[in-house]
Chains A and B, each alone.
Chain A
Amino acid sequence: MFGLGKRDFTLFLLVAVLAIFAPFILNPFPTDSAMAQFNAGYPDLMQRFVIFGILAIGFNILFGLTGYLSFGHAAFLGVGSYSAVWMFKLLSMNVIPAILLSMIVSGLFAVVIGYVSLRRSGIYFSILTLAFAQMSYNLAYSVLTPITNGETGLQITLDDPRLLGVSATADGGIPVTNLFGLEMRAYETVTMGPWEFQFSVGYYVAAIIMLASFYLSIRIFRSPFGMMLRAIKSNQNRLYYTGLNAKPYTLAAFVISGMYAGLAGGLLACMDPLAGAERMQWTASGEVVLMTILGGAGTLIGPVLGAGFIKYFENIFSKINDQVVHSWVSFLPDGIEDFVVGIIHPFVGKGWHLTLGLMFMAIVIFLPGGLVEGGQRIARRLRKRDGTKTETSTTPAE
């Protein structure tokens, strides 16, 4: 269906259902309950889930298929954001031209960076992309200030021309991003008993774009092009002697994946029209790598899972402070309670990055295939216990 095989279609449907019903699924706890802090169904957070999902899906097309580890993907994210904000400043607050421009500009960037970086492979490629990203970051902070507005970050103001829109709204405020009048920040709250669910325009716009991106990535994975990319990862020498030039294939993958990153950057700006250089920093590039590895590089669903997982835990973990931990373990005797809180303290709240780093190491060490591989292992074990000897088909990319 839709040109997808049965299993791929099921997977796509699953992701689509999860995305559409995310406001319900992510808000399982009643608003007033103690567990409400684990809810993640806020527009702002859900938008980040899907936007970083797009970023990771794109990164996976490069890293998962070809094995080229780019450490500079955040540069495209930043470029996308800057382009989108400029579109808001110059043209109109409609998100469509902004998204288009962010994809075009990041695509052009990717052509240049990719053309140079792909002259080398292995760790040299990683270091080259890292060098380009750091260069962009440094330039955004210094000489490119007229374009990037330096440390303050690029914002929309009342003086912007906005040729097809208005510089200021009727009541003198700064206009908001919209899709043909539908405001991105608008949302509807539905109350059902003790539960509250929020349905935001911005989230659904981003989610639809994410689904389109995901669909496209499935098509790429199953296409001759996707197969070539896997062949590049597997044996470049054989590819050369089979009459194929690996360079244009990897460059195409690099550019596609850069455009995905630009799209994600543009969408971030659509949800909150602000772009800063820190989005290009190499720690941000590391985060994308992390999401992809965590979910499972080279698998279809992995990057989406990884992005959701990291953004969810980032949000939840950083909200847990000492009081929250105390309230959990208050049943313990005082001394032990303090001790337990003391142990948990470094890993939550501001210590989230420590947990993240440890998790990252654990994944690379014990589960290089990420969550998807973990899931498969568990499924296999369960199947064995059942005694039914169903053959596990090893489709390399699921």
Chain B
Amino acid sequence: MDAIILQILNGLDKGSAYALIALGLTLIFGTLGVVNFAHGALFMVGAFCAVTLSRLLSLSHQVVDETRTDFLGKPLKVDVPYVMDIFGETTGAAIIDWAVPLAILFSIPVMIALGVIMERGLIKHFYKRPHADQILVTFGLAIVLQEIIKQVYGANPIPTPAPDVFKGSLDFGVLMGFDPNAIIYPYWRLVYFGFAAIIIGAVFAFLQFTTFGMVVRAGMADRETVGLLGINIDKRFTIMFGLAAAVAGLAGVMYAPINSPNYHMGMDFLVLSFVVVVVGGMGSLPGAVLAGFLLGILESFASMNEIKAILPGIDQIIIYLVAIIILLTRPRGLLGRKGVMED
């Protein structure tokens, strides 16, 4: 029992990331009808927003500390971050420590701007082109984005720690009446799951309760009719693209402490997120979220030793296997609407 709960918890953080990326992919596909192969790159750019902010905050200048000496006996030179000069030592240190959560604020404008530029500058011209062309051009864009990041930040993963408060783990087992240490769960993963839940909730609320969201939903259902009503749907779709980019970016920012960002993380997640979208149902937002968590948890179950003993290698392929079975038996996906892209 405790092992099962542990696996479910383990699946949640990856599942959250899948769900957030798949949500954005679905928004873009549902509104603009575009298959965006560059969406994983947006996730990656988000993660590097966290890296960037943490580097910016750590920018320092050298100060000679007369009270201490280095190993040669000379006065020690210490690096003092500018943030500490401005905010004082304790506040400064706290700000640096909290770089990743702060990067949320930093990344939102960056990601929205990136999304809007992408849509206006490139994607817009591909609405009427075949899906294959859309796949190809966004694939090219993904290569470009990841190469730029690689040139700026290098090819190695960059560890980006979470704030100190979240470094420990929560002993879930004790809470639920199991033995201590049976279910250990790092705090940050808990934070990530909560964060993902909030973002998902916010997106759904936004679509459900605002006029803007209503128009977008109507546009997803029937673009032409909404266009006939004299509503400028294009402008809203541009904003929608920016929003989807921001969601992917935020997913990336908060993922940085879980997995040190590297330039190809976007591609790794993209392939899986596409599978998630397909399983959930192309164009279905709840489907994307459901499938994201479902596949995340399934993947974590498949990596249990007991299961790997019976089916070696299953953890490596479980997601693809599920996708293949779903596509062949229920092409519209778990929650997809009938007739949407079924062939």
Binding site for B on A (CB under 8 A): 67, 69, 71, 116, 119-124, 126-128, 130-132, 134-135, 138-139, 141-144, 282-283, 286, 289, 293, 346, 350-351, 353-354, 356-358, 360-361, 364-365, 368
Contacts and interface: CB of A to CB of B under 8 A. Distances in A.
Contact of A357 (B140, B271, B312): B140
A228 B328 CA distance: 25
A139 to B, nearest CB: 6
Contacts of A289: 136, 139
A138 B316 contact: yes
Nearest to A361: B140
21 contacts: A116-B328, A122-B131, A122-B341, A124-B278, A126-B135, A130-B274, A131-B275, A135-B317, A138-B317, A142-B312, A143-B313, A293-B136, A346-B151, A354-B143, A354-B151, A356-B143, A357-B147, A358-B140, A361-B137, A361-B141, A365-B122
Nearest to B29: A123
B226 interface: no
Interface size class of B (residues with CB under 8 A): 35 or more
A120 B147 contact: no
Given A124-B341, A127-B275, 20 more contacts: A71-B135, A119-B328, A122-B131, A123-B135, A124-B343, A127-B327, A128-B324, A128-B327, A131-B271, A131-B320, A131-B324, A143-B312, A353-B143, A354-B147, A354-B151, A357-B140, A357-B142, A361-B141, A364-B140, A368-B129
Contact of B136 (A144, A283, A360): A360
Contacts of B129: 368
Interface in B254-307: 267, 271, 274-275, 278
Contacts of A131: 271, 275, 320, 323-324
Contact of A135 (B274, B312, B321): B321
Contact of B343 (A120, A144, A282): A120
B35 interface: yes
B144 interface: yes
B46 to A, nearest CB: 19
B247 to A, nearest CB: 21
Nearest to B323: A131
B132 A361 contact: no
Contacts of B131: 122-123
Interface string B123-135: 0010001011101
A296 to B, nearest CB: 14
A127 B313 CA distance: 21
A343 to B, nearest CB: 13
Nearest to A358: B144
A143 B140 contact: no
B273 to A, nearest CB: 11
Contacts of A120: 327-328, 331, 343
A119 B326 CA distance: 12
Nearest to A353: B147
A364 B123 CA distance: 12
Given A116-B324, A128-B324, A139 B144 contact: no
Given A67-B132, A131-B320, A354-B147, A283 B328 contact: no
A284 B151 CA distance: 21
Contacts of B56: none
B320 A132 contact: yes
B170 to A, nearest CB: 31
**Which secondary structure dominates chain A's binding surface?**
helix
Interface string B303-340: 00000000011001100110110011001000000000
Nearest to B319: A131
B260 to A, nearest CB: 20
A44 to B, nearest CB: 25
Contacts of B327: 119-120, 124, 127-128
Given A122-B341, A124-B278, A139 B143 contact: no
Contacts of B132: 67, 69, 126
A57 B207 CA distance: 47
Given A127-B275, A130-B274, A143-B316, A368 B147 contact: no
A91 B143 CA distance: 41
B343 A361 contact: no
A114 to B, nearest CB: 13
Nearest to B264: A283
A313 to B, nearest CB: 14
B148 interface: yes
Interface string B142-156: 111001101100000
A282 B317 contact: no
Contacts of A360: 136, 139-140, 143
A139 B316 contact: yes
Contacts of A142: 312-313, 316
Given A130-B271, A131-B323, A354-B151, A122 B133 contact: no
A365 B125 CA distance: 9
A361 B151 contact: no
Contact of A124 (B125, B136, B137, B331): B331
Contact of A364 (B133, B316, B317): B133
Contacts of B140: 357-358, 360-361, 364
Contacts of B341: 122-124
A353 B141 CA distance: 11
Interface in B197-228: none
B313 A134 contact: no
Given A116-B328, A127-B275, A357 B141 contact: yes
Given A130-B274, A283-B267, A354-B151, A135 B320 contact: yes
A351 B151 contact: yes
A358 to B, nearest CB: 6
Contacts of A122: 131, 341, 343
A121 B320 CA distance: 17
A127 B136 contact: no
Contacts of B142: 357
A286 B320 contact: no
Given A134-B271, A139-B317, A351-B151, A365 B144 contact: no
Nearest to B132: A69
A95 to B, nearest CB: 31
B133 A368 contact: yes
